[in-house]
Chains A and B, each alone.
Chain A
Amino acid sequence: MHRFLHRTRIAGLLAVAVLAAGCSFVGARDDGGDTVTLVTHDSFAVDEGVLAAFERRSGLDVEIRRAGDAGALANELVLTKDAPIGDVAFGVDSTFASRTLNQGVFTPYRPRNSGEIPQRYSVDPKHRLTAVDVGNVCVNIDKRWFAEHDVPEPTSLRDLTEPRYRGLFVVPSPVTSSPGLAFLLDTVTAFGEHGWRDYWRGLVANDVRVSAGWQEAYKQDFSGSGGHGDRPIVLSYASSPTAETRPDGTSRTRALLETCYRQVEYAGVLSGARHPEAARRVVDFLLSRRFQEQVPQHMYVYPAVRDVPVPESWSRVAPPPRDPAELDARRVERERQRWVRQWRDLVQG
């Protein structure tokens, strides 16, 4: 009995100690006051100093809430539009923009410097969404592999169906992956409503590998990142080579700039926001020079605001594609599900 009591006492003390040491979220304070909630996707990242400076200057406390990937974000916003989970959202991309606009998720706001954003990024004449950054989904290659194997590097989508690139390409599935979906849209743009399926037949015949996620394709199967995979061609982003730079400043990989599909990411003030004024200031902040300048380094995308300089290494190893493909957002919204279904029947049927 004494031993038992002894042990329960120890366990009790342990529990108290654990709780007292702050090993609990009970009593963790939810910041009140001038908090503004920014709803965004998992890939959102910002330089701490830049954000802190904004909070200091504006007197706002920015709370960041993540909602999965870009697709999940858009759908969560639609689902909660009557009781929004925040004040302002960033990260709805051109693939999902139409859905949020149709559902009235956002309310119009025209930021001060919206004139500095190229017209081609605009998605809504009512200014409910403002472009913040631009990403490009492109085919990437492992330069070293091609040099070592004495195979000429591919340049276009069409090249990937050629026999000499057989068994070299890995791409994430459009069903389960955002860049995968962008690549499907890319092929639809490049080969048209009738040609894209033939193109994919060619890819399948050329032993393309389809993975569920970008992670498996890029981190595991691609030979150019970490040198572990067996496939030197992968679908990734125009900016990916910047993550693979060597101490000498060169990159082991290269994006094929003729294969790119553009995805613009937008921000907007949520309808029914509790702090609409603060929300507008956050949008302004996202378009500010200081935020725009750190976008490449932290989110691997290009700033949307005109003439914001990108890091020097970027212009060397990851220049933006000159004329990437892009589909009209409304058409994407209308046809996406059909394309995905057809793709599934074709590739995985």
Chain B
Amino acid sequence: MTSSLSGSRAYPVTVGVAAVIVLGFLGVFFAWPVVAILGLGLGGGVGDVLADPATWRLVAFTLGQAAASTVVALLAGLPLAYVLARVAMPGKTLLRAMITVPFVLPTIVVGMAFRALLGAEDGNVGAIVLANAFFNVAVVARTVGGLWSHLDRRTEDAARSLGASRMRAFTSVTLPALRPALGAAVAVVFLFCSTSFGIVLVLGGGRYRTLETEIYLRTVRMLDLSGAAALSLLQLAAVVVALVIAAVARRRGERTLRLRQATDTARVPQGGEWGVVVAAGAVLCGLLVPIVALVVRSVSGDDGWTWAGYRALTGTGAGALEVSGVEAALNSLRTAVDATWMSLLLGLLASAVLVSLRRRGSAETMDAALMLPLGVSAVTLGFGYLITLDTLPGQLRTSPLLVPFAQALIATPLIVRMVLPVVRSIDDGLRGAAALLGAGPLRVRWEVDIALSARTVLAAAGFGFVVALGEFGATSFLARPDTITLPVAVARLLARPGELNTQLAYAVCALLMVVTALVVLIVERLRVPTAGEF
């Protein structure tokens, strides 16, 4: 007598459905448009582009500046991560909100701020690296800080008792334990930096070019689709290589860690730890300088201080926009809410699938596939939408939902990166225990996986929301005039002459910062630690 597997193993069916939803979304809203637009360009000219030594200089510069930016972001982010995770102090919520703000700022505005602050008017690689790092410090601090706060401090203490110095204990015990989070942060930051567009354009003064800017110029300005396709393929290849390296680094790091409740691990710093706190303070000041500059700019007029920009928030900036600044803020919130629930749904489904896949290879392939949207140019995707989505029913090509779809593509991999390590660290026995006590497959996910990772999921949702709030590339391409978001409004306003438009642009920017900070603060409020939860 044999027994059938399908009934007793309900997981594969659920997992299958989840996988179909995730991969279906990825297929329709990412793979199909990208392949279609690349397909248009393949054939002619691709070989010539690849044979051109200038192309390879472009690749080298792209990867070089991304690597340098990642290193700077990492160095700046780690002290902040340490403070967030290990230092007991009041106002940490505010600190978290503050370091998240840079992440959403429109690149054109940050680019212009760095350009003025660093005197980089003629193009400056150092400024590009610093500005890229400025955007991504939050990614490092939050991703690494999240895991760090749950690490059992006693393993470090054990190392110290065995004669390791503070530094030695950090490098030999803490750092390896943080590797999954470090790997995730490095991968994400590297992808963001290698596809950084506005920063490279503004701070490169048109002189420094990356694959991303070149793809944009060839696609949008020259309609040189074959050149753009060749460069996009190179970009994709570079991204895949980066992802493989990240996966290899992760392979050995991701495991069941001894996780502790966060409050147990924070304490008042001792001795040399104060040095790290000081470094974190310095980084924070560095983050604040451009932000303060923006705020100052928003209230400075031709003849001294003025509130004109803020008063104009209820208007449309002399017809520059179809909507007022306030309406743009509401649009931003709406779009971000949609993008958040979509990416949360996709991210959780994807995490469930990734956890259930027993074969390491298929899990890693799917993981990498989810990350790919971070490494593909927004303009490639946008042009891809133009030529594919008209064949779908429901006028998707012009639907306001297209913007959250595109934003969800970018937010989903970040949510997966945050949630997956926590879900993977959950002992499978707990799921078995719940099932044996009568919980069905979905109930198990809810009672065990979701419940145990609730805090992380909530944080990830908040971060996804913030990503959507700040997303510019795809949004500016896809948003309809009546549904433009705050970052897009800023860019449109800056594209017009007139002092009032400029003041309004910076006021909108300030509004964006306030909205972001509020969202982060609300999410933090919901993150009260609960009994026994990780």
Contact = CB atoms under 8 A, between A and B. Distances in A.
B121 interface: yes
Give the size category of A's interface with B. 35 or more
Contacts of B112: 215-216, 219-220
Given A37-B398, A219-B502, 15 more contacts: A11-B526, A15-B341, A24-B337, A26-B338, A68-B220, A75-B223, A85-B397, A173-B206, A175-B206, A211-B206, A213-B108, A218-B497, A220-B112, A237-B497, A244-B499
A236 B497 contact: yes
A226 B530 CA distance: 52
A23 B334 CA distance: 4
Interface stretch (A38-46, A145-153, A155-163, A260-268): A38-46
A289 interface: no
Nearest to A68: B220
Residues of A contacting B: mostly: mixed
Nearest to B403: A25
Interface in B372-391: 383, 386-387, 390-391
Contacts of B458: 11
Interface residues of B, number: 70
B333 interface: yes
A52 interface: no
Interface string A312-341: 000000000000000000000000010000
Contact of B202 (A23, A78, A216, A226): A216
B400 interface: yes
28 contacts: A3-B531, A7-B526, A8-B454, A19-B337, A23-B337, A24-B334, A24-B337, A25-B335, A25-B483, A45-B320, A64-B322, A64-B481, A65-B398, A71-B220, A74-B223, A75-B223, A80-B387, A80-B390, A175-B206, A175-B221, A211-B202, A215-B494, A216-B112, A219-B112, A225-B497, A227-B302, A236-B497, A348-B206
B513 to A, nearest CB: 19
A280 B335 CA distance: 34
A212 B477 contact: no
Nearest to B528: A7
A271 to B, nearest CB: 15
A219 B108 CA distance: 12
A42 B492 contact: yes
B499 A25 contact: no
B480 interface: yes
Nearest to A336: B222
Nearest to B383: A79
A72 B220 contact: yes
Interface in A20-48: 22-26, 28, 30, 37, 42-43, 45-48
Contact of B221 (A63, A72, A239): A72
A213 B499 CA distance: 17
B309 to A, nearest CB: 11
Interface in A45-66: 45-48, 63-66
A75 B220 contact: yes
A300 interface: yes
Contacts of B8: none
Nearest to B216: A176
Contact of B205 (A10, A47, A210): A210
Contacts of B403: 25
B217 A175 contact: yes
Interface in B207-240: 207, 213, 217, 219-223
Nearest to B395: A30
